[in-house]
Amino acid sequence: MLYSTPNKLLVVGGADFSEGLFQEVYDSKIPIIAADGGANFLADYNISPELIIGDLDSLSQQKVHNIDNQKIIKIADQNTTDLEKVLIHTTSSLTIGIGFLGSRIDHELAALSALVKFPHKKIILVGEKDIILLVPPSFSLSSFDGMRVSLYPLDSVKVQSEGLKWSTEGLTMKPTDQIGTSNHATGKIIHLAPSAPKLLLILSRKLLNKAVSHLERSPSW
């Protein structure tokens, strides 16, 4: 294990994101790990991450020349993405990832796959408009009438649900058949209980803090 914290961890990837998004998730008290090219963005703001992890093919040596070489960890394995490399070599109570959504579609799909590959880890990926997380065995979230709740299965999964306009009770969801995008909450709370760690929950970015709080309190796979 390269880095461990009992608290939250912020992982910064190399996909484009706005300064406003970074300011929303940045907290000087939360340690930061750069996934390869994410270090380039941090260097522009004179922020030194705890570690830089990846195959380093996107790292600008000019921008990180002031960082201790011992903090730059090259992992040449091409069978894992830079996000996966970070997840393999770090532990935290919850990981928030930015710089993994909204750029290249193949990179974005790989990031979503990582959520399913590491179901025991609590991870929220944050984009300009949406946040995405893997639904734990039991997950409740305070809501409001009309709140968008999109469910997307990455494999076959049954989902017990409460508080949704279109119930998932009795349904087997799978990407080649039944999906659950653009559902809506009908009241003050939603509850989801998938049968396996295969279900993604997509919410508005405005719900980030609420989602973090509820996910931290939820059971792990």
How confident is the model over 159-211, as pLDDT tens digits? Answer: 999 999 999 998 999 999 999 999 999 999 999 999 999 999 999 999 999 99
pLDDT tens column, 60-94? 887 877 888 888 899 988 899 999 999 999 999 99
> What percent of the chain is predicted at pLDDT more than 90?
84
Closest residue by Cα to residue 26 from 126, 150, 104, 134: 126
User: Do 97 and 159 fall within a single domain?
Assistant: no
Model pTM?
0.95
Cα separation of 194 and 198, whole Å? Answer: 8
Q: What is the pLDDT of residue 1?
A: 81
Encoded tokens for 112: 């979503």
Both 155 and 90 in one domain: the answer is no
Judge if 32 and 122 occupy the same domain.
Answer: yes
Q: Residue 191: give its domain's CATH number.
A: 2.60.120.320
Residue among 218, 204, 41 nearest 32 (CA): 41
Q: How confident is the model at residue 175, as a pLDDT?
A: 95
**Average pLDDT value over all residues in the chain:** 94
- Structural domain that includes position 9: 3-128
- CATH code: domain of residue 100: 3.40.50.10240
Q: Please count the structural domains in the chain.
A: 2
The pLDDT, as a whole number, for residue 67 is: 85
